[in-house]
């Protein structure tokens, strides 16, 4: 499974990141590379069977914080 994930990420990286690098879009390249690296790490961990915590609780806390911050009474 890991090899399939690796192959998919390599193909997508070649299709998406090479034009960004060649086009002198350094800021976009750095941002895309950072997000792409995080996605690869998470996909790798999931493919080798590591249990990752859900982000649903974290998102719920943020939404409740924002909701309380903008509440008009």
The token duo for 73 is 């009474």
H or E, element range at 2 = helix 2-22
Q: Could you report the per-residue pLDDT of 23-39, keeping only the tens digit for each?
A: 877 888 889 899 999 99
For the chain, counts of helices (H) and of strands (E):
3, 0
Domain count, the chain: 1
pLDDT at 57: 86
Per-residue pLDDT of the chain (73 residues; tens, 9 = 90+): 788 888 999 998 888 888 888 887 788 888 989 999 999 998 889 888 889 888 888 889 888 888 887 765 5
Task: List the domain range (segments joined by +) for residue 23.
Answer: 2-69
Q: Are 2 and 50 in contact (CB under 8 A)?
A: no
The pTM score is 0.66
């Amino acid at each position: 499974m890991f090899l399939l994930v690796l192959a998919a990420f390599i193909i997508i990286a070649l299709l998406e990141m090479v034009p960004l690098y060649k086009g002198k879009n350094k800021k976009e390249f750095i941002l895309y590379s950072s997000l792409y690296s995080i996605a690869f790490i998470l996909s790798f961990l999931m493919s080798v069977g590591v249990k990752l915590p859900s982000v649903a609780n974290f998102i719920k806390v943020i939404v409740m914080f924002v909701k309380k911050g903008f509440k008009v009474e």
